[in-house]
Amino acid sequence: MQIHSNSELTNVAEKVKEDPVKLHKEANTLYEIGKYNEAEEKALRASELYLKANNFFDSASMLYKAGESMFMLKDYEKATEHFTKSAELSFDKGFDRYGVSALEYVRDCYNAMKKRGKTKEIEKKIKEVKAKLEKASF
């Protein structure tokens, strides 16, 4: 019989309690039924857990879902933050098309906030990445 320390048992209990796939599904369901604050919370936690497990795509996906949730609530500052993090992680890990999609949402947030300078900056970056992707596909 192996004896475990309390911290080991706590860590195991936390892992059992917080399943990123379960949180991912909950975030999507909450989003679909219009509970955007709760969806953001679950999506951000799932993103953290996925990141710890080196599941970068699902981490970026959950940051994106958190951004969509805040976009629906017209909290464009928070939405921009989440979409920007999703884009950065996506580009860093080679999910370029997903990153472009997140940047397009960032652009939409800046448009909604009437930040024309920022909108132009993002449009330029989107154009550059799309050109790079087209070049790479040939």
Considering the domain boundaries, does residue 6 fall inside one? no
Tell me phi and psi for residue 137, to 5 degrees.
-80, -5
- The alpha carbon of residue 33 and the mean position of all alpha carbons in its chain are separated, in whole angstroms, by 19
Specify if 3 maps to a domain: no
User: How many domains does the structure of the chain reveal?
Assistant: 1
Residue 23: closest CA among 9, 40, 37: 40
Q: Look-up: residue for tokens 């990445």?
A: 129
In a domain, 40, yes or no: yes
Residue 71: inside a domain: yes
pLDDT at 108: 97
Model confidence pLDDT, tens digit, residues 19-43: 999 999 999 999 999 999 999 999 9
In a domain, 87, yes or no: yes
The pair of structure tokens assigned to 103 is: 């940047």
| Position 4 in a domain | no
CATH code of the domain containing 131: 1.25.40.10
Q: What is the pTM of this model?
A: 0.85
**Which residues 6+ apart lie within 8 Å of 129 measured at CB?**
91, 96, 99, 100, 103
Nearest in space to 39 (alpha carbons), one of 72, 8, 65, 61 = 65
Q: Is 125 among the domain residues?
A: yes
pLDDT in tens, 88-122: 999 999 999 999 999 999 999 999 999 999 999 99
Range of the domain at 50: 18-136
